[in-house]
């Protein structure tokens, strides 16, 4: 239910420049999506005792652990953001990028292989520079709060797999914008944006079957009765050919999570085994109803459109800035043309700044989509208590601050605050007053359910 990425933002930007990694890396970081807000060392009221008579779930009060995790997370976000700009700037302004290019020319000789070698050298250097912060952020800190069960070997292995994945994507696709730099220096940004759309589509298609299994162990649902109920709910929602998978995360983490992935014949709903084991049947169905809405309401396709527009706008902003910056600092950069592969850290810096600027707009859309999915899940299950109590458990298990503040919501929050979601789940009951359902037209089965 939570989104994010364990991969540094510069890798995501590199993915944008390679036209495909934006979506793929979202799946790669699925574990850290919950890890950013996670811990099992939480005190709270058992769900079975939460105002059960009234079937209304109160807004949880954040524990001291939650507050400490939230505050330190904000500091870490600022540090990570600044570090994400500092590293490529260091490589760029010290002339190190130009020296990497010279080494790549010596090894690769031909233009295409020079790009491939440079990408590998750059990513290796960045990985080394990032390692201390990444080790603390995604290993030490998560163990400190009781979220991660991974050994150092497992964590290190996953980080190397992510590095190799980004390197392979860079070698396969980064030549496209650099070729367009040469062939059409005034329109490269437009043609690159057009080329991004089919690659993003392919990435969405293959991510669940080629990328995600590199990091997680996917198995069929172990609880066949629950699987049948989920498939019945999917059928009622009009999802044909959908699949439900369970991912074995309990050996790695105590966090709970669920998400949708894939398109066309690779679409699937994925439930972490921690979620299946720790929530009851009704709560799991409420979560699944929410996730199904992302398919039915077209959120995946809308997000693809949003990504395409952002790539277009971002690359145009880069185009408008490149000439001035190269002319001003070319003596320090060690190159005079954007078609020089040594310009890659400059592109990463500019795209990082652009994406930081548009984050509030992106998160405004995702919060709207999540609110629509909450509404859809409530309408198809009509189980307010299950939804609200599942959200409460998410708060307590994953150390989510129920009211994190406006700046946090604006710049960091993929979802609406948990407090607002619980309040909405408690109060949204149009079927009790005879009001029409917003998404009733999507439901196949007759409206024969009774409110709990």
At 263 the pLDDT is 79
- pLDDT band at residue 108 using 50, 70 and 90 as cut-offs: very high
Mean pLDDT confidence for 219-226: 87
DSSP helix/strand/coil, 271: strand
What 8-state DSSP symbol labels residue 58? P
Instruction: Look at residues 15, 26, 141, 147 and name the one whose alpha carbon lies nearest to residue 76.
Output: 141
Which pLDDT tens digit goes with each residue over 408-450?
Answer: 999 999 999 999 999 999 999 999 999 999 999 988 754 444 4
Confidence of residue 266 (pLDDT cuts 50, 70, 90): confident
Q: What is the pTM of this model?
A: 0.83
* Residue 449 located in a structural domain: no
Output 377 or 261, whichever has higher pLDDT: 377
pLDDT at 5: 39
Owner of token pair 């995501």: 12
Q: Which segment of 101-105, 341-345, 390-394 scores lowest on mean pLDDT? A: 390-394
The alpha carbons of the chain give a radius of gyration, in whole angstroms, of 23
Asked, for residue 421, whether it belongs to a domain, the answer is yes
Q: Which of 4-8, 161-165, 182-186, 320-324 has the lowest mean pLDDT?
A: 4-8
Q: Answer yes or no: is 168 within a domain.
A: yes
Quick check: is 452 in a domain? no
Residue 54's pLDDT band, with cuts at 50, 70 and 90, is low
pLDDT of 7 > 80? The answer is: no
Residue 1 maps to a domain: no
**Contacts (Cβ under 8 Å, ≥6 apart) of 225:** none
Q: Is residue 9 scored above 50 in pLDDT?
A: no
DSSP per-residue string spanning 20-37: SHHHHHHHHTHHHHHHTT
**Is 390 domain-assigned?**
yes
Q: Rounded mean pLDDT of 294-313?
A: 91
Return d(Cα 206, Cα 284) in angstroms, integer. Answer: 26
Q: Across-strand partners of 219?
A: 246
How many domains does the structure of the chain reveal?
A: 1
Element (H, E) at 245: strand 243-247
pLDDT at residue 269 in the model: 84
- Per residue in 24-42, pLDDT (tens digit) is 333 333 333 433 333 333 3
Identify the domain containing residue 117 by its residue range: 9-442
């Amino acid at each position: 239910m939570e989104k994010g990425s364990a991969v540094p933002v510069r890798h995501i930007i590199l993915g944008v420049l390679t036209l495909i990694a934006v979506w793929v890396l979202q799946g790669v970081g699925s574990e850290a999506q919950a890890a950013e807000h996670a811990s099992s060392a939480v005190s709270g009221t058992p769900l079975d005792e939460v105002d059960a008579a009234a079937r209304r779930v109160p807004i949880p009060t954040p524990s001291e652990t939650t507050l400490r995790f939230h505050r330190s997370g904000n500091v870490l976000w600022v540090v990570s953001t600044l570090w994400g700009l500092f590293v490529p700037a260091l490589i760029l302004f010290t002339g190190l990028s130009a020296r990497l290019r010279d080494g790549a020319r010596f090894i690769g000789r031909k233009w295409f292989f020079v790009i491939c070698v440079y990408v590998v050298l750059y990513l290796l250097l960045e990985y080394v520079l990032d390692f201390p912060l990444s080790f603390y952020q995604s290993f030490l800190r998560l163990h400190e709060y009781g979220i991660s069960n991974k050994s150092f070997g497992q964590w290190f292995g996953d980080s190397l797999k992510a590095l190799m994945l980004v390197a392979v994507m860079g070698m396969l696709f980064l030549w496209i914008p650099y070729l367009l730099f040469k062939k059409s220096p005034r329109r490269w940004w437009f043609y690159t944006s057009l080329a991004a759309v089919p690659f993003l589509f392919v990435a969405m298609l293959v991510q669940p079957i080629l990328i995600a299994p590199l990091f997680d162990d996917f198995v069929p649902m172990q609880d066949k009765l629950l699987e049948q109920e989920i498939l019945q709910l999917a059928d009622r929602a009009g999802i044909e050919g959908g699949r439900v998978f369970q991912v074995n995360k309990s050996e790695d983490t105590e966090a709970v999570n669920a998400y949708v992935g894939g398109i066309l014949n690779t679409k699937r709903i994925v439930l972490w085994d921690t979620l299946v084991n720790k929530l009851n049947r009704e709560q799991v169905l409420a979560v699944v109803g929410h996730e199904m809405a992302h398919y039915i309401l077209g959120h995946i396709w809308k997000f693809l459109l949003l990504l395409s527009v952002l790539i277009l706008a971002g690359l145009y902003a880069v185009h408008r800035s490149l000439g001035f910056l190269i002319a001003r600092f070319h003596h320090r950069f060690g190159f005079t043309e954007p078609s020089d592969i040594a310009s890659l850290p400059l592109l990463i810096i500019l795209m990082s700044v652009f994406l930081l600027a548009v984050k509030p707009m992106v998160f405004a859309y995702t919060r709207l989509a999540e609110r629509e999915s909450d509404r859809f899940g409530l309408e198809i299950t009509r189980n307010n208590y299950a939804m609200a109590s599942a959200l409460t458990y998410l708060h307590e298990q994953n150390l989510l601050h129920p009211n994190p503040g406006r700046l946090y919501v604006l710049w960091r929050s993929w979802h609406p605050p948990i407090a607002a979601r619980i309040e909405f789940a408690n109060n949204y009951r149009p079927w009790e007053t005879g009001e029409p359902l917003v998404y009733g037209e999507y439901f196949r089965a007759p409206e024969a359910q009774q409110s709990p």
